[in-house]
């Protein structure tokens, strides 16, 4: 049995909505996504090891991703009271990050150097050590897919993964890069 088959057996036990394996060369990168980070649209630019500029240039992120043999994109979707349910969004994100921890553990059994990318910067610590000290939890700090300049909105449909799962839902994405 190959590594992917073994991984898929373990992933079947987790509450992943959708996932797809693909080649890192198929990742859609865009400087415009990174420009949103640098424009500080989410407020995390230059405040976290999981966000720019700490993750490196878009070019260095592309190099990191393309150094791996395989990639997998996966999602969770959570129904909320309304599209404006900010507490629901946050609760869903916490649940997604907990699942990302579980997925990371599966992949790291097969490749200890697997790269895990997730959502909107790291939330492990209340106050990030960036830039004054090294990250305290490097094994749980997952850079944001957007911080790497990845166009999840365009990638999802190309992989037959739903980007939007309906009214009053929030869909979160994470990506794993690993070697066979």
pLDDT digits (tens, 9 = 90+) for 15-64: 999 999 999 999 999 988 888 877 777 778 888 999 999 999 999 999 99
Is 28 in contact with 154 (CB distance < 8 Å)? yes
Model confidence at 1: pLDDT above 70: no
pTM assigned to the model: 0.93
Q: Distances in Å between the alpha carbon of 149 and those of 16, 62, 111, 169?
A: 24, 8, 24, 24
Which two structure tokens, joined as six digits, stand for 74?
């996966």
Average pLDDT, the chain: 92
């Amino acid at each position: 049995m190959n590594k992917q088959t073994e991984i898929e057996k373990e992933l079947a036990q987790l509450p992943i909505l959708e996932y797809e394996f693909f080649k890192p060369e198929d990742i859609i990168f865009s400087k415009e996504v990174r420009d949103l980070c640098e424009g500080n649209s989410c407020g995390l630019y230059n405040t976290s090891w999981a966000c720019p500029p700490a993750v490196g240039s878009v070019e260095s992120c592309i190099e990191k991703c393309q150094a791996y043999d395989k990639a997998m994109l996966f999602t969770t979707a959570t129904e909320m009271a309304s599209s404006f349910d900010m507490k629901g969004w946050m609760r869903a994100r916490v649940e997604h990050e907990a699942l990302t921890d579980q997925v990371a553990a599966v992949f790291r059994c097969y490749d200890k150097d697997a790269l895990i990318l997730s959502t909107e910067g790291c939330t492990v610590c209340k106050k990030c050590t960036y830039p004054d000290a090294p990250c305290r939890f490097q094994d749980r700090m997952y850079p944001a897919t957007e911080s790497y300049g990845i166009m999840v909105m365009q990638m999802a449909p190309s992989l037959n993964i739903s980007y939007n799962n309906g009214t009053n839902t929030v869909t979160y994405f994470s990506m794993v890069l690993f070697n066979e």
